[in-house]
Amino acid sequence: MAGPSQRPGQEHEIADASLAGLFVRPYRLQRPFEQRVPFVFASPHSGRLYPASFVSTSRLSPLGLRRSEDAYADELFSGAVALGAPMIAASFPRAFLDVNRAPGELDPSMFDAPLELPVEPPNARVNAGLGVIPRIVRDGAEIYAGKLAPLEAELRIGRLHRPYHAALSRLVEETLARFGAAVVIDCHSMPSAPGVPQIVLGDRFGVASSAGVTRHAERAFEDAGFHVARNAPYAGGYTTLLHGRPDSSIHALQIEINRSLYLDEERIELHSGFEAVRFRLNRALAGLTGIDPALLLRAEKRLDAAE
């Protein structure tokens, strides 16, 4: 029980120093010396700091828990900082908390008492076990041996999800103020499978990004030698939904890269192709961030700029 000077949940933090560390620093932020391009890069699923209490109470092995990671996506896309764009990356793993889900995408059946947080009506992702607090890893294995306390949801969303998205929103606002437009690039990797392309661009079928911005991105990746698809099998998640407002000159594009290009997916280790793929990816990012700024402006602004 918490002592009289402790706030609710503090005893949970003290019991797990690794979790307390994540609460202090839930994300890593890299900034260029000067932001030169109207882009913000985000890596929500590459976090690999696993709380000890989470690992010890899971039914899965540490390697099994890592099946949900977009492993090393933050390192793959880190060249964006040298191009003059800030990059934010979640420190915590996706299996623990998925910041590419809305905070209300919760499954109440995972908890041993009623939740006090707002809960959205269940959708296909939550029903499949892939809500904001996942029930399974990507290969379908169950994470937890038993029910969670509601406090878990409150702590993870309040101390990890909210700070991550608040920081990302500040980066977008700063970029919009500086350049008059902003593009959020949400960086992911995807499991390999027959027929899966090398790169998938997700713009929520034209809702989160203008057609011109998506076409420009597609050409940049094709020019770097990648086979590119749009919106299938991934069209974008909560980040693109939250930030993609082309009518306000804010675009959001999710980029998925096939893990087989750089990763031993069984051992979750980089293989010999990593540096070559990162070189090609840096070339694509240089082309992407070199977009004509006028393409980022909403129609009325483009007309004003032309006069």
User: What is the structure's pLDDT at 179?
Assistant: 96
Question: Is residue 183 scored above 60 in pLDDT?
Answer: yes
Residue 129: inside a domain, yes or no?
no
Does the residue 250 lie in any domain? yes
pTM of the entire structure? 0.92
Residue 136 lies in a domain: no
pLDDT tens-place string over residues 78-118: 999 999 999 999 999 999 999 999 999 999 999 999 999 99
For helices 274-289 and 211-223, the axis angle rounded to 10 degrees is 140
- Say if 128 falls within a structural domain: no
Q: Which domain holds residue 249?
A: 17-53+61-97+148-306
What pLDDT score does 276 carry?
Answer: 97
Whether the pLDDT of residue 304 is over 90: the answer is no
Residue 168, domain CATH: 3.40.630.40
Q: How confident is the model at residue 14 (pLDDT cuts 50, 70, 90)?
A: very low
8 upstream amide cis, omega within 30 of 0? no
In this predicted model, what pLDDT tens digit does every residue of 165-181 receive, in sequence order?
A: 999 999 999 999 999 99
Average pLDDT of the chain? 92
When divided into structural domains, the chain yields a total of 1
pLDDT at 232: 95
Q: Does a structural domain hold residue 193? A: yes
**pLDDT tens for residues 248-294?**
999 999 999 999 999 999 999 999 999 999 999 999 999 999 999 99
Instruction: Give the per-residue pLDDT at 138.
Output: 83
pLDDT at 63: 95
Q: Is the pLDDT of residue 158 over 50?
A: yes
Domain-embedded: residue 40: yes
pLDDT tens for 110-132 read: 999 999 999 999 999 999 999 99
- pLDDT of 3 higher than 70: no
Would you state the pLDDT for residue 303?
Answer: 35
